[in-house]
Amino acid sequence: MRSILITGGNGGLGLAIGRYFLNHDPEARVWLGVRTKRNQAAILAEAHAARCHLLDLEVTDPAAWQSAVAQILGADGRLDVLVNNAGMHRDCLLAAMPAESWHQVISSNLDSTFHGCRAAVAPMMRQRSGRIINIASLSAILPPLGQTNYAAAKAGVVALSRTLAKEVARSGITVNSILPGYIETEALGAMDDETRKQAQRGIPMRRFGKPAEVAAAVYFLASPDAAYITGAALKIDGGIF
Ligand code: NDP
């Protein structure tokens, strides 16, 4: 049995990652962290009743992390994989950016990753094994205008991952980050047709990625075959440089 916690379980990527583990690993027990009981995650949990569970997890709240991890350890006795996937953006040029947008984006993307890693590392160190995969963004290295908050948060996620990778390398724990480019989820829902076409013209493969294409990479990084990969930052973006 492998116990897997994925945050942002109601979102497009979180659901795809959960589904991927459930479909490819019959031994996987998937915990989907959600802050609202929206139907998407609930439907997946119902379809895999014995192996998939919803967990209340507001990722900016350290106490919520402690109780979520305690619940998993109580049920499974271990935590093998943490996927810090929850996140959001509030784009705005810096000159006009309300301080609240700055703090909200830093908190939901970067503080959340800190709280999650800290909560997961203790049981993983006791087990002397674990896999942490942090979902950053291509914006961490190629930021578009209007994302000072999001780019700073996601660059922080990459730096946190690389540093933590060194700290826990001798405890059998790997820590990697993934930098998706444009992936077809609700997060891209606000784009009009012309903006979509323009964005696709900037991608060498001329298409957006599918959530399952990110999920496959997460699954690999969580596998025994990826035991020697740590501190990596993997771009998944159809070839944008
Ligand atoms: P979605 O907006 O579809 O999903 C994001 C999920 O994160 C939602 O379920 C949301 O919860 C949850 N979430 C946000 N803030 C919190 C919080 N404070 N506590 C608990 N849950 C929270 O986006 P994606 O699935 O596309 O994105 C997943 C990750 O991938 C994010 O980190 C995003 O930044 C990153 N990413 C996505 C890209 C894309 O093109 N789609 C590109 C690059 C990176 P709720 O449902 O309650 O709102």
pLDDT tens series, the chain, 241 aa:
999 999 999 999 999 999 999 999 999 999 999 998 778 899 999 999 899 999 999 999 999 999 999 999 999 999 999 999 999 999 999 999 999 999 999 999 999 999 999 999 999 999 999 999 999 999 999 999 999 999 999 999 999 999 999 999 999 999 999 999 999 998 887 889 999 999 999 999 999 999 999 999 999 999 999 999 999 999 999 999 8
What tokens appear for 137 in the block? 């963004």
CATH class of 2-236: alpha beta
Centre of ligand 1 to C-alpha 108, Å, is 9
The beta-strand segments (E) located in the chain are: 2-6, 28-34, 52-56, 81-84, 130-135, 173-180, 233-236
User: Domain residues of the chain, as ranges?
Assistant: 2-236
The residue contributing the CA closest to ligand 1 atom 15 is: 87
Contact 59 CB / ligand 1 (< 6 Å):
yes
Helices (H), 140-240: 148-168, 193-201, 211-221
| Helical (H) or strand (E) element with 43 | helix 39-47
**Active site annotation includes 150:** yes
Contact 185 CB / ligand 1 (< 6 Å):
yes
User: Mutation test of ligand 1: which of 7, 35, 234 has the most ligand atoms closer than 8 Å to its C-beta?
Assistant: 35
Which strands make up the sheet holding 81-84, listed edge to edge? 52-56, 28-34, 2-6, 81-84, 130-135, 173-180, 233-236
Q: What is the pTM of this model?
A: 0.98
